[in-house]
Structure 1
Amino acid sequence: MNFRNQLFFLFSLFVTCSVTGQEIMKKKRDFVLISKGTHFVAGSTITLEFKGNSAISCEMYCANSYGSTLVKPQLQGARIFFKIPAYLSTKTGVLNWRIVGLKQPLFGSFKIVPKESPSALETYVGPPSIEAGGSDYSMLVVIPTDNLDNPLRQDTPVSIQQQFLASEKNKLIFTKNLIAFKHIFSPLKTGRMLLSSEVLGLNSKEYDINVMPAIATNFNIYSNRNHTYADGNQITTFTTSIIKDKNNNTISDGNFVYFFITNKIGDLLKTSGTTIAGVATAKIIHPDYEENWNIKAYILGMAESNTLKIKYKKVIANFEVAFIKNNRKVTVGPIKSFMGQLIPDGIQVKISIYKDKKILNEIIKSSREGFVSFNLNQSIYKNGEYDFKISTAKVHKTFQSITLW
């Protein structure tokens, strides 16, 4: 029985001490917060009201993600007011405060939320061009903000409108971590896609994405020429079929197509053209001697063509050579073409000069009106016997022991 009485006495003493301690603490607390608000709208006037001893010199320290400051109190009798500066109260987020100068610490925080209605839509679209086929994509980013440039609250609905060819789509997304975004995947066809967004009645401007063709696939090539003779004058034109991508879209203009030509002895020639409406065209002059060509075209690193074989017939079977003026002037011609006409100007004629079976010199000239003349300077080629080899269009003539004087 005595034990129970002692236990009850100790419990009563503990409660009495606790109540007394609380009363002492209440008496020692200088300020008491009266304001009850924990959420404020950005841009509104935010004032925190306290009740306490106005004779105490103190200030309020305020801080948020935009900065910090000290606020002086405004006194009205036993009430103390602290007005949050506008440059802090217009920015959303958590604002922390603490009364500086009190014996007992007094601090807290409240949240500043954005206005409900948007004033502007920050919209970004990129990249502006994507490849057709469904694997490439662009991104639309929308940041709805109020008139103080604060992003709207989480989960604000954003309506995305999308138009491409005959298709129109509408997709509802929501803001998260201040922004709303959507991946815009490419369709199979090429064209221009239009995008816009709408948030709570506020519409963005129109944006566009160019859906470009994918890389080229293999194609065919063709040739066109006025005749099949190797006259060194006419033009052979190479063209491609309409080059398309894997989705049957015509490839973009400006793709380089290289035509590589292999002749009978394995030498390589090259010509090139760029695509317009999917077709590339390239030209090359006819050879001036009988030739067989194998042509293959490439879009480097992407696609290639079939191999095209074409033949050129010989046009020069024979030609005349005359040695005059002490055999020091060599006249070649007339050089005739496939219809008996004079060969077009510009065909090359080469003369090789030998002395004692050793070559001394080679001279190359271009024909004019079917003739070529070579003058053998006496100061270079002394009097005596020489051998000559004259070549044009892979036709050769040799003259032995021609005396120069």
Structure 2
Amino acid sequence: MIRQLNHMLERRLPEKRVFLRSDNDTRYLRLSPLTQLAVVFGTSVTIVWMTIATSIILMDAIGSGNLREQANRDLVLFETRLSQLASERDTRAAEAAAAQARFNTALKQISVMQSNLLSSEERVRELETGIDVTQANLRDALKVRDDAIAAQETLAAQVNGTDVSPTGVTSKDMEATVDVLASALSATSAERDAMVVDAHQAVTQAKTLQVELKLMEEKNDRIFSQLEDAMTLSVAPLDKMFRNAGLSTESLIKTVRNAYSGQGGPLTPITFSTSGHLDHDSERANGILDKMDRLNLYRIAAQKAPFALPVKNNFRYTSGFGPRWGRMHEGTDFAAAYGTPIYATADGVVTYAGWQSGYGRLVKIQHEFGIETRYAHQSKLLVKVGQRVSRGEQIGAMGNSGRSTGTHLHYEVRVGGTAVNPMTYIKAANDVF
């Protein structure tokens, strides 16, 4: 068969001889057509394979460059959005603080006006009582005067022009008595007129205070509305962030409130108003204070849950959460330069810092709400077991230790011991931080 193939190929690939000459001898190698065909085929296959491999390498390099540039652009946009949201959050906090100050000032003014109004009403009641007493005294004085005049006329008729009555009372004494009564009547009338004027002034002042109180209530209502809107805009994004991360907001608030249970200060709810019971404004104030307390608790909880990125330098995602190569990949991989700083994504306590099979150099951090984060394949560790770390604190550097094909960070989030997708928390925080 080989001879037949050589014979068929001789027309296109004639036999070649390669002579090898030495000082003592001359030899040659005979290259049959089939051998030449095998060499040509092997050479062609090698050239084609090298061409394809080179193309794949170039395409991968170009694709990696594009992904890196896209990741850099996304990071810049993320940082810009983060700065804008932080600025907006600070503005909302400043507006809420200013509105709280205006609200406290309005409450003080309303308290003073209510005190003045109560004093005016008490004065009006006192004046009305005085008028009633004066009128009673006046009626008694008029009755006494009428009785004295009748007695005088009776005595005058009895004495028939004499100065002494049968009882021994003279007409001069009767006239003196009448003059005293008339003088007392005049004084009582003057006092009554003065009290009437004072009562009219008190009523006018009370009406003026009522108008001012109405204006103050309208101003207070505007302040309440601004505070309620500010609290709604501040609390809603945080509430949405926790719900998108699959966390129970009520459970979070209960846990944080139990850990921070001190009371007192400007955020203490109002129990009773100046009138001794809760009015509408006090209920609205308590509602605002409750939202401010909820906002504060949310901010504390946000520091204790892993909503931040573990890498702040330029990086690219190389592998996500989910099945990979027939097995479950329980985290997210971030690729960057060797030695890139790695940061804690939330406040917590280091429970493991050392070498672990497969993970290489590994750091485990236990957070609140039963959440644990893991940072694997590091080149060096900067924390130790039992150390308390804060969100954004560096805990190590990126490396290639353990079961790894290149420099990267394997980042895991576990809730109650079960691995969950870390991007759930990172994406949930995009509209807040």
The TM-score normalised by the length of structure 2 is: 0.18
Greater share of helix: 2
The structure, 1 or 2, with the larger RCO (C-alpha pairs under 8 Å, 6+ apart) is 2
Larger Rg: 2
